[in-house]
Structure 1
Amino acid sequence: MIALADIQRAQARLADTLAPTPLVLDHALSDRLARRVWLKGELFQRTGSFKARGALNWLRTAGPKELAGGLGAVSAGNHALGLAWAARQAEVPVTIVMPENASPFKVAGSRDLGAEVILHGDINAAWALMHRLVEERGLTLVHPYDDERIMAGQGTVGLEILEQAPAASAILCPIGGGGLIGGIGVATASLRPSLALLGVEPAGAASMAHAWARGGMHRLAHVETCAKSLAAAIVGEHTYPLSRRHVCELVAVDETAIHRAMRHLLYRGKLAAEPGAAVGVAALLEAAVTLPPEGDIVVVITGGNLGREELEAFL
Structure 2
Amino acid sequence: MLPLERLQSAQRLIADTLPPTPLLLDHGLSDRLGRRVWLKGELFQRTGSFKPRGALHWVRTAKREELAGGLGAVSAGNHALGLAWAAGQAGVPVTIVMPENASRFKVEGSRELGAEVILYGDINAAWERMHKLVAERGLTLVHPYDDERIIAGQGTVGLEILEQAPEATAILCPVGGGGLIAGIGSAAAALRPELALFGVEPCGAASMAHAWAQGAPSRLGKVETCAKSLGAAIVGEHTYPICRETVRALAQVDDAAIGRALHHLLYQAKLMAEPGAAVGVAALLEEAVALPPEGDVVVVITGGNMSREELEPFL
TM-score normalised to the size of structure 1? 1.00
Cα distance in structure 2, aligned partners of 1:309 and 1:3: 42
User: Letter of the aligned partner of 1:142 in structure 2?
Assistant: V
Query: Structure 1 residue 141: deviation in Å?
Result: 0.1
- Which digits, 9 at most, give the CA deviation of each residue in 1:55-100, with x for residues without a partner? 0000000011000000000000000000000000100000000000
Q: Map 1:17-166 onto structure 2 (within 5 A).
A: 17-166=17-166
- Structure-2 residue corresponding to 1:9: 9
Aligned equivalents of 1:88, 1:33: Cα separation in 2: 43
Q: Which residue of 2 is the match for residue 176 of structure 1?
A: 176
**Matches of 1:39 and 1:29, distance apart in 2:** 10
3-state SS of the aligned residue for 1:297? strand
Aligned CA-pair RMSD: 0.5
Distance 2:13 2:312 in 1: 38
For 2:3 and 2:175, how far apart are their aligned partners in 1? Answer: 20
Q: Give the structure 2 partner of residue 240 of structure 1.
A: 240
Shift of 1:313: 1.2
SS in 2 for 1:172: strand
Q: Show the counterpart of 2:191.
A: 191
The runs of 5 or more residues in structure 2 that have no matched partner are none
Which amino acid letter does the alignment assign opposite residue 183 of structure 1? G
Instruction: State the Cα distance separating 1:231 from its structure 2 match.
Output: 0.2
Q: Deviations over 1:230-261 (max 9, x none)?
A: 00000000000001100000000001100000
Which string of whole-angstrom CA distances, capped at 9 and with x for unpartnered residues, describes residues 159-187 of structure 1? 00000000000000000000000000000
Distance 2:193 2:212 in 1: 22
- 1:261: which partner in 2? 261
Q: Distance in 2 between matches of 1:105 and 1:88?
A: 19
**Identity rate, percent:** 78
SS of the equivalent of 1:183 reads: helix
| Match status 1:292 vs 2:283 | no
Letter in 2 for 1:313: P
Mapped to 2, the partners of 1:190 and 1:298 lie a distance apart of 18
- Secondary structure of 1:155's match? helix
Mapped to 2, the partners of 1:288 and 1:197 lie a distance apart of: 14
Shift, 1:262, TM fit: 0.4
- Deviation, structure 1 residue 28: 0.2
In the alignment, which residue of structure 1 is the partner of 2:204?
Answer: 204
Task: Give the 5 Å matches for 1:269-284.
Answer: 269-284=269-284
Aligned to 1:221: 221
Match for 2:276: what amino acid?
Answer: G
Residues 190-232 of structure 1 deviation map (CA, whole Å, 9 limit, x = unaligned): 0000100000000000000000000001000100000000000
What SS does structure 1 have at the residue aligned with 2:314? Answer: coil
How many Å separate the matches in 1 of 2:62 and 2:213?
A: 35
CA shift at 1:3, angstroms? 1.2
Q: Give, in whole Å, the separation in 1 of the partners of 2:272 and 2:114.
A: 25
Amino acid at match of 2:195: L
- Deviation, structure 1 residue 104: 0.4
Matched length: 315
Rounded to whole Å, the distance in 1 between the matches of 2:139 and 2:75 is 15
**1:139-170 residue CA offsets vs partner (Å, 9 max, x unmatched):** 00000000000000000000000000000000
**CA shift for structure 1 position 2:** 2.3
Cα deviations by residue, 1:95-128 (Å, 9 ceiling, x for unpaired): 0000000000000000000000000000000000
